[in-house]
Structures are given as structure tokens and as C-alpha cells.
Amino acid sequence: MVHHGSALENTVEAHSIPSKENQWPLRFWLLLCFVLVLGNIGVYREIFAPPVVTVSVLDAGKKNHPVLVRTPHGRTLLIDTGPDASILRALGETLPMWQRSIDAVILTDPGTLFAGGLPDVESRYAVSTRVQAGTRSVPYGASFMFGGVRIEIRAPGTLAISYGATTLSISSSTPRSTYVSDGETITQS
């Protein structure tokens, strides 16, 4: 009987102290749980985040400033492209590095000052729609909806972006910055 008791004690002691071989799966499961919790936090933050419109007045061009609009539904609109390839640097600083598409490009004037960077944009990004304002089909003063945001092209380089009860007027004197609207207020960041 003593012989069974010592064997039983050895078995209990062997199971109560995890071996180095058994520690790897435990570390793996703890790491997996940690990653899943972080992933869930990110998903919930995205789902429950208030819908906002982000308007970035970009630094590309001396007089005319291209404008990048990101809607609450994740659509991207570029208004004017600036005079040259400097628009690519500005877009690279503003868009996530994995984004290689722009839903629409609106040109407020066909001149080089406003549209010179268009070939460079189209070579780097897949552009779904291109609109030329100031024509018979899209005259100045025309407005249209894009992803829940109203865009009014008033003149070359001059426009109004409305979301909810807010309207942001943009012209050559608008400071280069990012503006965020939740439909009730506009903040500059």
C-alpha cells in the first residue's frame, strides 16, 4: 500500500508542475486571447464611432489647394489635383498607405493650375469617376450628393461642402488643414 501512495504522490506532483513543453501552448493561447481582445476593441470602436466627414485642404500648389473629402460611409472624393505631381505626396500623407483608389475626382477648372496633377493621380490611384465642373452638364453653382455629403462647386477652386447642419466654404484663402464635421459642428485639427 505504501508503494501505491508514493506512486500517486509522484503522479500528482508531475501534473501540478507544468513542464517546459506544456508552457508553449499556454503562452500561445494567452497571446491569442490578447490579440482577439485587441481586435474586438478596434472593431467596436469603428462600429460605434460617430459618423463624421473629414475634409483635408491639401498642400499641393501655391494658389489652388486640392481638397480631399472622406465621407462617413468611407467614400473618398478629391476636388482638384493641383498643378503637378506634388498632389501624390499630399495624398500619401493623408490617405492610409494601403488605399489605392479614389471614388471620384472633381475638377473645378480644366486648367493646369487645377488639373495638372490628374495624370499622376490616375497613374497611382484607381479613380472610379471623373467630373469636370464649369461645363453645360455641370455648371458652376450646381450641387450634388456624394456619400451623404452635399458638394456645391461655386467657381474654379471655390466650393461648399455640407453635412448635416454644417457647411464648410473652401476657397484659395482657406488654411491648409483638416476639418472634421459630425453634422452639428466643424472642428479644425
pLDDT tens by residue, 12-39: 555 555 556 666 788 888 888 899 998 8
CA pair distance 136, 58, nearest whole angstrom: 28
Confidence (pTM): 0.75
Which of 15-19, 42-46, 127-131, 168-172 shows the lowest mean pLDDT across its residues? 15-19
Grid cell digits, residue 32: 491569442
pLDDT tens by residue, 25-77: 888 888 888 999 988 887 877 677 778 999 999 988 777 789 999 999 889 99
Domain topology for 53-188? Metallo-beta-lactamase; Chain A (3.60.15)
Q: Is the dihedral of CA 95, 56, 148, 135 positive or negative?
A: negative
Q: What is the pLDDT of residue 17?
A: 58
What residue spans define the domains of the chain?
Answer: 2-48, 53-188
150 beta partners: 145, 162
Q: What is the pLDDT of residue 70?
A: 95
List the 149-155 sheet strands across, edge first.
143-146, 149-155, 158-163, 166-170
Pairing, β 67-70 against β 186-188 = unpaired
What is the number of other CB atoms lying within 10 angstroms of the CB of residue 138? 16
